[in-house]
Amino acid sequence: MKLIYWLLKIALLFVVLYIGDTYLKSFGWWSVIICVVAFILGTRLIDKKIDEYNKQYFLKRLPVLDELKIGQFITVELLNGQKLVNRVYMASLSTEILIGAEPILTFGVEELEQGTKKNRWVKLKKVKSIKIVQ
């Protein structure tokens, strides 16, 4: 997936540079600025589409992700057989979830630092199943 992602970005860069070189020569330095803005907007569009694709893919594979709420206790089983039992669901991205070893109930500086050291990002492609602990 990353190979396709980078190939799309490189192809977009060459297309933008070709258009800028061929059609925008008369604008001078403005052509460079136009090309850079077009490249940035194009890569943002590619990033959004890939994030949507990843989210849909992982929701089909792990439908429990849609039901998770912050602070719920979950058990995560990884593809290598390792189980992360009684972890606290904290957040998610399109390809990862953040789980903590225990809930942070106090907000003192030392407790917060200790709690964040126990947090862990887990890549969803390495997850076999997620179960909500009641």
pLDDT in tens, 5-46: 788 888 888 888 888 778 777 777 777 788 888 888 988 998
pLDDT in tens, 85-128: 888 888 888 888 988 876 555 555 555 555 556 788 899 999 99
Out of 61, 90, 112, a domain closes at 61
120: three-class secondary structure by DSSP: strand
Answer yes or no: do 55 and 69 share one domain.
no
Answer yes or no: do 34 and 89 share one domain.
no
Answer yes or no: do 8 and 40 share one domain.
yes
- The span from the CA of 40 to the CA of 106, in Å, is 42
Number of domains in the chain: 2
Its domain, for residue 71, covers: 63-132
Cα-Cα-Cα-Cα torsion 78, 82, 87, 92, nearest 10 degrees, comes to -20
pLDDT in tens, 53-76: 888 999 999 999 888 888 888 899
Answer yes or no: do 102 and 124 share one domain.
yes
Out of 61, 86, 110, a domain closes at 61
Tokens standing for residue 122: 């887990």
- The span from the CA of 89 to the CA of 66, in Å, is 12
